[in-house]
Amino acid sequence: GGHVFHLLVALICGLMMWELIGMLRPGVLHLQLQKGVVTGVAVFLAAYLPVWLALPVLLLPIALGYTQLTLHRRIFSTFTAMIALSGFSMMLVRDDLGFGWMMWLVLVVVVTDIAGYFAGRIFGGPKLWPAVSPKKTWSGSVAGWFGAAIVGLLFSINAGMGVQLVIISILMSMASQIGDIAESAVKRKMGVKDSSNLIPGHGGLLDRFDGMLGAALFLLLIGLIFGFPPGLG
């Protein structure tokens, strides 16, 4: 927690931006470094600002980079917002709600991924979106939702909450899968297998955090609109 966690999240977000620019503008190393640093700094500063001021700071990398990218501007803007806002969301969860809720967020994403992987391999069946992600199946997606529901149920019992948390966990699982598919779509469009080779044998940070981008962004949105956790504001 604290400054160390903020720095870690900012570093991860900066590296994900470095990977994104590397896919959209391969070979332009100075632009990768510049956008990575700007995004990381924006995410770190946002942790110490009120929400009304943090949000414009988080979106500043889009404004600064939009004019420098003549191609794939929509992809750049969308994923820059996802990276910066999801990083901010993780810091809010850790700072305002504590370690337990941060673990809930992580476990929903991880269980969604693991349950989907094994169910897809065991049961197979119709593909979810073969043109974008040939390996993902409907059976895997549904298994991910069930896994997230179990995580939500266990946390709701521990926290003395109702079925709202189970429903939110399922919706967050869906958002996690959308993040995964969105990143797969970008890689397919750019003709790359991995977002980078930062993690030998596993690709890049975007490949590892794609589900977290969707889930954390979803949690930020419902938190801003409805308050979170349900009933606690």
What is the per-residue pLDDT for 111? 97
Residue 66, CA distances (Å) to 14, 26, 55, 69, 176 in order: 17, 16, 17, 6, 26
| Structural contact between residues 229 and 165, judged by C-beta atoms closer than 8 angstroms | yes
**Contact between 56 and 182 (Cβ < 8 Å):** no
pLDDT at 229: 65
Specify burial of residue 146 (Cβ count, 10 A radius: 0-12, 13-18, 19+). middle
In single-letter form, the type of residue at position 40 comes to G
* Secondary element (H or E) of residue 133: strand 133-137
Bridge partners of residue 129, in order along the sequence: 133
Cis peptide before 229 (omega within 30 of 0): yes
Residues of the chain with pLDDT under 70: 229-233
> What is the predicted pLDDT for the residue at 109?
97
CB under 8 A, 24+ apart: contacts of 115-119: 115/140, 115/143, 115/144, 115/146, 115/147, 116/140, 116/141, 116/143, 116/144, 116/147, 116/177, 118/143, 119/143, 119/144
Give CA–CA dist 166/179, Å, rounded.
20
Per-residue model confidence (pLDDT) at position 224: 84
pLDDT of residue 230: 55
With contact defined as beta carbons under 8 Å apart, do 184 and 171 qualify? no
pLDDT, one tens digit per residue, over 137-158 is: 899 999 999 999 999 999 998 8
Query: Which pLDDT value is given to residue 45?
Result: 97
Q: Are 115 and 147 in contact (CB under 8 A)?
A: yes
Per-residue pLDDT, 201: 82
Element (H, E) at 190: helix 164-190
